[in-house]
Amino acid sequence: GAGVSQSPSNKVTEKGKDVELRCDPISGHTALYWYRQRLGQGLEFLIYFQGNSAPDKSGLPSDRFSAERTGESVSTLTIQRTQQEDSAVYLCASSPQGRQLGTPLHFGNGTRLTVT
Amino acid sequence: KQEVTQIPAALSVPEGENLVLNCSFTDSAIYNLQWFRQDPGKGLTSLLLIQSSQREQTSGRLNASLDKSSGRSTLYIAASQPGDSATYLCAVSGSGGSNYKLTFGKGTLLTVNP
């Protein structure tokens, strides 16, 4: 079956521009997560959705970052006024359940964002 | 704040060798621990998930152990193959209300030479 799909796979943007990253989770998965992987660093948690609500957005680095989810499906991560330190791979994951996480996360292939 | 450390950062072995990857975490109050594999330019693939009440999980040539009280986990790979070459990541989920949130180590880059 289809896995988690992310688009675009690569994005190069100029400093100061806004970007939107898209995630299509596995159908029926109620929980959705965004993580960031910067070069040489471990994955960092950004935000968690349960359905269309985000009970935990504590990992968003600044108010330039926002995310939404609609139809308990697609999610969009938006970065406004991009900075060079935003360059990273942004990974989306989904799971059938959020709290009481007893099942593995399914990750997409990520979007590699480069800010020049 | 939970911190996850993986040792070694990189490992190169000849094909056929058995090997062990190590993961340690600072806060033993975890809900579960997962091992993932990441191939270059790809997302993460879940290999094994160990609940906090469990001691080990096995899948094929992989065996993961968990010693929660000492904050350690190992991933044992038997009879390694070139196709096992990848970065292996360890992640723990918090206990209580934040058990959906994973804290990752930086990974071990494994190269298996034919």
> pLDDT, tens digit, for every residue of B25-55?
999 999 899 999 999 888 899 999 999 999 9
Which among B99, B35, B69 is positioned nearest to A99, based on CA atoms? B99
| Smallest Cα distance from A34 to chain B, Å | 10
Q: What is the 3-class SS of chain B, one letter each residue?
A: CCCEEEECCEEEEECCCCEEEEEEECCCCEEEEEEEEECCCCCEEEEEEEECCCCEEEECCEEEEEECCCCEEEEEECCCCHHHCEEEEEEEEECHHHCCCEEECCCEEEEEEC
Which among A77, A79, A89, A100 is positioned nearest to A30, based on CA atoms? A100
| Smallest Cα distance from A106 to chain B, Å | 7
Rg over alpha carbons for chain B, rounded to the nearest Å, is: 14
CA distance A21 to A111: 7
pLDDT of residue A83: 97
Q: Is residue A59's pLDDT more than 70?
A: yes
| Smallest Cα distance from A80 to chain B, Å | 24
pLDDT of residue A105: 85
Tens digit of each residue's pLDDT (9 = 90 or more) over A63-114: 999 999 999 999 999 999 999 999 999 999 999 876 555 677 899 999 999 9
Any idea what DSSP says for residue A62? S
CA distance B57 to B65: 7
Token pair 């034919």 is found at B114
The answer to whether residue A25 neighbours chain B at the CB level (below 8 Å) is no
Rg over alpha carbons for chain A, rounded to the nearest Å, is: 13
Which of A45, A101, A110 has the CB atom closest to B99's CB atom?
A: A101
Which of A6, A98, A109 has the CB atom closest to B100's CB atom?
A: A98
CA distance A113 to A12: 6
Q: Tell me the residues of chain A between 47 and 76 that have a Cβ less than 8 Å away from chain B.
A: 48, 56
A6 CB burial (10 A radius; 0-12, 13-18, 19+): buried
pLDDT of residue B101: 87
The tens place of each residue's pLDDT in chain B, 114 residues long, gives: 899 999 999 999 999 999 999 999 999 999 899 999 999 888 899 999 999 999 999 999 999 999 999 999 999 999 999 999 999 999 999 877 777 889 999 999 999 999
One-letter amino acid for residue A91 of the chain: L
Is A2 in contact with A74 (CB distance < 8 Å)? no
Any idea what DSSP says for residue A26? -
Is B78 in contact with B18 (CB distance < 8 Å)? yes
Q: Is residue A13's pLDDT more than 70?
A: yes
Asked whether the beta carbons of residue A45 and residue B51 sit closer than 8 angstroms, the reply is no
pLDDT of residue A25: 96
Q: In whole numbers, what is the pLDDT of chain A averaged over residues?
A: 92
Which among A9, A13, A7 is positioned nearest to A74, based on CA atoms? A7
Instruction: Please state, as a whole number, how many other Cβ atoms lie within 10 Å of the Cβ of residue B17.
Output: 12
Asked whether the beta carbons of residue A109 and residue B100 sit closer than 8 angstroms, the reply is no
| Smallest Cα distance from A24 to chain B, Å | 14
Which of A91, A101, A107 has the CB atom closest to B31's CB atom?
A: A101
pLDDT of residue A1: 53
Q: What percentage of chain A exceeds 90 in pLDDT?
A: 83
pLDDT of residue A94: 93
pLDDT of residue B108: 97
